[in-house]
Amino acid sequence: MGLSIEEKVARDFAVRAHGDQRYGVDPYVVHLDEVHDIAVEFGLPTEYRVAAFLHDTIEDTGTTVALIEAGFGIDIAQLVVTVSGFGPNRRARIADAEIKMVAHPRGVPLKLCDRIANGRACLRQQSPVKLLAMYTREYPDFRAALYKPSQRSGFDCTALWAELDRIFEAR
């Protein structure tokens, strides 16, 4: 299945925004493509597939919320903002994003796609082994914080959670 025009525009935008950033040894677009493909695999609607390309732009580049909203609309901008965590360290960034996802559960399916992509990359050893250990250690709290909000997301997240359980619970 090919990309829609909106998905192509979002992908091109994200590739430019991320510039020379890397995801492990790969260009960052490899991660963005994987998050998008997971959104497709699990049947998420177009707005999530577009947001999949943009999900790290506010958090990891100089891209502003206003720029995302101007280019892709308020709904997609809200999804991107919701999954973006800010703070002085990883714990603070996770807490920030989780607070937003509890308040705006529509963002949870996008975050689950991102975490599946992270886990799958670790399992393929495209990320350092320590990342798999970190995600596995974080998983019980991640699941506890987001499972109930996922039930209010407007999307049946059962299959997404099953995949996350497969990746992280047996480690």
pLDDT at 124: 87
The domain total for the chain is 1
- In 3D, which of 50, 32, 17, 14 has the Cα closest to residue 118? 32
pLDDT tens profile 120-163? 999 987 566 789 999 999 999 999 999 999 999 999 999 999 99
Residues, the chain: 171
Q: Computed over its alpha carbons, how large is the radius of gyration of the chain? A: 15
Known active-site residue 60: yes
Catalytic residue among 6, 26, 41, 59: 59
Known active-site residue 59: yes
What's the CATH code of the domain at 66? 1.10.3210.10
Is the pLDDT score of 171 beyond 90? no
Catalytic residue among 12, 60, 141, 169: 60
pTM score of the predicted model? 0.96
Domain that holds residue 86: 5-168
pLDDT at 125: 77
